[in-house]
Amino acid sequence: MGMKIFLNGEFVDRSEAKISVFDHGLLYGDGVFEGIRSYNRRVFRLREHIDRLYEGARYIRLDIQMEKKVLEDKIIEALKLNDLSDAYIRVVVTRGEGDLGLDPRKCGKPTIFIIADKIKLYPEELYIKGMPITIAGTRRNHPASIDPRIKSLNYLNNILARIEAIDAGVEEALMMSIDGNVVECTGDNIFVVKDDKLMTPPSEMGALKGVTQGVVMEIASEMELSAEHRVMTPEDVLFSDECFLTGTAAEIIPVVSIDGNVIGSGKPGKITMRLIKAYHELTLKEGVAY
């Protein structure tokens, strides 16, 4: 059986999952999305992701026109129809079909689609040996321009920085704020460990408030490790004891160098590895079963 995709109220074959060229999600990146994971037939942190989706939509004045519970049920149905035990779910809501102008009032109803599939973001060896990254010259959007709470369809800022990573021969790039402080990587939040304390930049710097980032803070608290949001400079990262990235797709991945400068011992740190183990254990026992 081929992949089934939810599109505007019904499940269709992948080849039939089509939207209009006049959709404002395509024309202007006008919309919001979420990436969600399921493990062992349990959807991890489903409500947190759905809440963030609706919050972002509300901020850009986009009425999803579907109750949260209905959307959650459709996500579960997508997983069942595609017989996926461990999956990555992409939920997308666009402004919908309009005309060639910017006016959102011309878009009658939103386009909603759900894709349930597999994802492998980084090579397995990087989770074992750690990942080198670069610092991008492309600065992160200023929070006064694009609120960091919005996981919008316009990812060009991130993509330009990811191109810099590719040019540097690495998988990720660290993005700075306009005034040179650490914000996040192109697709992941960043943490450092210094003197057994965890630190991650606050969303006010322009970083997306990550669901996985929040889970790591919870796990750290249970481990009686100090964890806080703090404004950080590139030097704070370079001279930290450990560094790692977090994201729904990436999970937790160690970072061992930046632009060739070694962080800590140059290997994944002990606290990072403890967090990875605890995170994996949590994903297998917590979540919405299907």
Tens digits of residue pLDDT in 206-259 = 999 999 999 999 999 999 999 999 999 999 999 999 999 999 999 999 999 999
CA dist., res. 151 & res. 78, Å (int): 22
Q: Please state, for a pLDDT cut of 90, what percent of the chain lies above it.
A: 98
Is residue 197 annotated as a catalytic residue, yes or no? no
Closest CA to 63 of 83, 93, 88: 93
Has residue 1 got a pLDDT over 90? no
Instruction: Work out the percent of the chain whose per-residue pLDDT is above 70.
Output: 100
Q: Which of 151, 209, 267, 285 is catalytic?
A: 151
* pLDDT tens-place string over residues 108-165: 999 999 999 998 889 999 999 999 999 999 999 999 999 988 999 999 999 999 999 9
pLDDT surpasses 80 at 63: yes
Please give the domain boundaries of the chain with CATH numbers for all domains. 4-117 (3.30.470.10), 124-285 (3.20.10.10)
pTM score > 0.85 for this model? yes
> What is the Cα gyration radius of the chain?
19
